[in-house]
Amino acid sequence: MPATKLLPLLLLLLFLLPVAVSAARWQARQPPEGWWAADRSSTGLLPPAAAHRPAVVRVLAARTVRWRGIVAVHCWLVLKPEGAARYERYDYTAWGAPIRVNGFAPDGRWFGAAPEVVFAADGAAAARLIPPMLAAIEGYAWRNQGDYRAWPGPNSNTFVAAVLEAVPGLPVALPPTAIGKDYPHDGRWLRRTASGTGLRLTLGGYAGLTLGWVEGVEVNLLGLVAGLDLRRPALKLPGLGRIGLPDRDGSSPLPGMGPEAGRNSGAGTARPAA
């Protein structure tokens, strides 16, 4: 087939058709009361902080509000040092000071949309992640009022991606629907991926290419991402996200954290999850 016909067909199959399917699904799940009044209560993904002594790190993601939920999720961070009596939730939002601390329940629904766990670490593994993450939050460049831009960034997903990059070799990839994750928050157009297993080329967040063992192959076109997960075979499609084997790793320890970091439960657990 001539390239002049193949390219439009690929664009239709990989970008436009998935977005159309996602739009139909989004319309069906709209809350009758409207997005602003939608449920933001806890989903029970986290144990009560006061009764859970080990350190905790979570990256959560939920469909964002209004029509943007067709193609995008909103990611946030939850941190709890060992022995702390409460979780600290960090969002990057369009209103007020961009970095919002404890503005919502740590594992709350995002205006009606239930979150999923993208990454989880507990115990010793989490305790080692928290200091560099807090330093990255404190030193985040786009922290002033007016810095937030929904597209192509810097947005909530840019913020979370920057914090994750502060921990070299972290085996986690944000969802393909985390639009803004590829925005060059530090101005670099070519960089190693957060996992340290590949490279990411980005043209201001408007277009780009990612190649990595953890991240797989991702093509960014106007913020929409299509690609393949190579480590655990799956398709990555705009709007629909990841379709394939679960993105879980309960047996591989984080680099330098010892064998206890890879267990499925107990102190020292670190695992990315779908």
DSSP 130-143: HHHHHHHHHT-S--
Assign residue 196 a region (left: φ > 0; alpha: ψ between -120 and 50; beta: otherwise): left
Does residue 134 sit within a domain? yes
Range of the domain at 226: 15-272
Reported as type and span, the H/E element at residue 207 is strand 207-212
Does residue 183 sit within a domain? yes
**Phi, then psi, of 167 in degrees rounded to 5:** -115, 90
> In 3-state terms, what secondary structure has residue 173?
coil
Please count the structural domains in the chain: 1
pLDDT at 4: 67
Does residue 112 sit within a domain? yes
Does residue 267 sit within a domain? yes
Does residue 6 sit within a domain? no
Does residue 147 sit within a domain? yes
| Listed residue (19, 132, 109, 1) closest to 62, CA to CA | 109
Does residue 42 sit within a domain? yes
Residues 6 or more apart whose CB falls under 8 angstroms from that of 165 comprise 136, 194
* CA 273 – CA 247 distance, rounded (Å): 6
Does residue 101 sit within a domain? yes
pLDDT at 2: 65
Residue pLDDT tens, the chain, 274 long: 666 666 677 777 789 999 999 999 988 877 666 767 788 999 999 999 999 999 999 999 999 988 999 999 999 999 999 999 999 999 999 988 899 999 999 999 999 999 999 999 999 999 999 999 999 999 999 999 999 999 999 999 999 999 999 998 899 999 999 999 999 999 999 999 989 999 999 999 999 999 999 999 999 999 999 999 999 999 999 999 999 988 764 333 333 333 233 333 333 445 444 3
